[in-house]
Structure formats: structure tokens, C-alpha cells
Amino acid sequence: MREAIRLANESMEHGGGPFGAVIVKDGKIVAGSSNSVTIDNDPTAHAEVNTIRQACKKLGTFDLSGCVIYSSCEPCPMCLGAIYWAGISKIFYGNTRKDAHDIDFADDFIYQELELPVEKRAVPTIPLLRDEAIHTFRLWSTKPDKVRY
């Protein structure tokens, strides 16, 4: 956790946000990164996502089962989703999402949006061309050599 916090502090010195994360496997740090949203002009460049990308590349897999993530802050909904998709086994965090809210990071807004019916969310979300799109899913469901994830 101290390394995640150190990365968060270092990030601010280089123009990034106050967030850091490390991924550990078998007691050893596999990857560590910080928030680079403003540096990379990439809204997905959160510390956890950057760290997951590094760990997957280093380990040569998209499955981080058996890994643990240490984040300087409770993961936002996007990062939490990425952590689940990566199969990470446990999450440790320092600051809470309320602490993040108190310094003007509005992650809670997205948590609240996810609880709303699609038609009541702030960003209009409209189904379109499902009859055409479903064809791809049907092909996937019968693909014999697919890699499940």
C-alpha cells in the first residue's frame, strides 16, 4: 500500500492525479502505476487500469487470478469493473470514495447512475440495430476456437 501511495504522490509531481496502484502476485510487486488522465489525455488512464495493463503485459495474460491490487483510493466504478474483468482476487485501498468526493472527484455520481434504470440516466442510452448486432453474438456462441474470458 505504501508503494501505491508513493506512486500517487509522485504522480502529482509530474502533472497526474493523486492516485496510485500496485498489483502483487506471490508476494512480489508485478506492476505499479499512477493516474495519467491529464498527462495522456485519456479519461481511462486511472492508476488501477494503467497497472492492470502493465501486469497483463508483463505476465503475458489477461487473467490476473491470484493477484492482489493495492490502490491508494477505493476504486471508481470503471476501475472496479476492470479489476473484476481481470480476475484480481482481492482489493486493498487507502482513501475512500467519500474522501475522493471531498476533493472534487465525483465517482459517487457514477455509482448512483448505475442504480438507475437506463432510461433515467444522465447520458441518454438508446438501443439501436439489435436485430443486426445480434448476428455477431450468434457467430461467437458457435465459434469452436474462441478464447473464453
Could you read off the pLDDT of 1-29 as tens digits, one per residue? 999 999 999 999 999 999 999 999 999 99
Q: Considering only CA atoms, which of 103, 53, 112 is closest in space to residue 69?
A: 53
Q: Which residues of 120-141 are buried (b: 16+ CB within 10 A; e: fewer)?
A: eeeeeeeeeeeeeeeeeeeeee
Percent of the chain with pLDDT over 90: 96
Backbone angles phi, psi at 54, to 5 degrees: -60, -45
Q: Which residue has the cell 490476473?
A: 64
Confidence at residue 35, expressed as pLDDT on a 0 to 100 scale? 97
Rounded CA-CA distance 115/89 in Å is: 25
Residues marked as catalytic: 48
**What pLDDT does residue 108 have?**
86
**Which residues are CB-contacts of 116 (< 8 A; sequence separation ≥ 6)?**
none
Q: What is the rounded CA–CA span in Å between residue 47 and residue 76?
A: 11
Q: Are 43 and 49 in contact (CB under 8 A)?
A: no
C-alpha to C-alpha distance for 34 and 52, rounded to whole angstroms: 11
Are 48 and 35 in contact by the 8 Å Cβ rule? The answer is no
Neighbours of 102 (CB within 10 A): 10
108 phi and psi, to 5 degrees?
A: -60, -30
For the chain, residues with pLDDT lower than 70 are: none
